[in-house]
Amino acid sequence: MRPAPLDLLHLGHERVIGCYLLDTEDGPALLDCGPASCFETLRVRLAERGLALPDLRHLLLSHIHLDHAGATGVLVREHPGLQVHVSEVGAPHLVDPSKLISSAARLYGDALGPLWGEIVPVPEENVHVVGARVVGLECFPAPGHASHHVCYVGPDGTLYAGDAAGVRITPHRSVLPPTPPPDLDVEAWHETVAEIRRRRPERIALIHFGAFDDVDRHLDELERRLDEWTDRVEAGVSEREFVEAALGDVEPGSGDEYATAMPFDQSYAGLRRYVDKRAV
């Protein structure tokens, strides 16, 4: 059965940010939690499934970007028994989010608060560095989009990909690579896709937005777009030209949906930084 994301209705928009409710060997768990600005919507989504926040046992984070993990501290403050699982690279930034906040503030400026809400430290005793298995799911490093990214594979063959398998807004077919700063690594991303393929998942579950069964075609398009976008920036296109080209990479009429889920100017900034660093 194909999993369905809980739509967190970020800033009132459908199919922008989701998360997944999982039934694990140690009780209910969330895969990612969205930002704190969506916390009350998350509470409603859980209630629709007969659950309250204290019913959750675990939170499995793909990575610590605020659209995926921003509400973690608020959730643990409300539910101190919640156990949080995250990569070794990401764990210190949950306990002390000061650098995370500083980096996000450079990117979002005054929009930081309205976009993502309150960012709260997580007590160290609630934070667990992931290993090869987490509450019955396989877990493996998945750098590229971010150095602190991991993926999870459920017993049913579903790959919970975070952003490692790109962005694809259901019901569309277009697959795009979100490439924001600061630590995009295109080579590492291709290696992560190879690791995904090696596991032969039955389907891919995305936070942005939905679950899809055409795994090989999906990953082929992701890698092709990642290389095309890198080539464009290496060729010296401007931000405006990059954004216009990205809008042309998706199905007609879906550009605004993709641009809301993964702002194209941020993808340009991440690739520009990556290309410049590689040149040096």
pTM recorded for the entire structure: 0.95
1 pLDDT band, cuts 50/70/90, is low
| Structure tokens, 125 | 């005793």
Supply the angle between the helices 215-234 and 186-199 in degrees, to the nearest 10.
170
| Structure tokens, 240 | 């405006």
The per-residue pLDDT for range 190-204, each reduced to its tens digit, is: 999 999 999 999 999
Fold entry, domain 6-279: Metallo-beta-lactamase; Chain A (3.60.15)
Q: How many residues are present in the chain? A: 280
Strand order of the β-sheet with 27-31 is: 6-7, 18-24, 27-31, 58-60, 83-86, 127-129
Lowest pLDDT segment from 1-5, 141-145, 159-163: 1-5
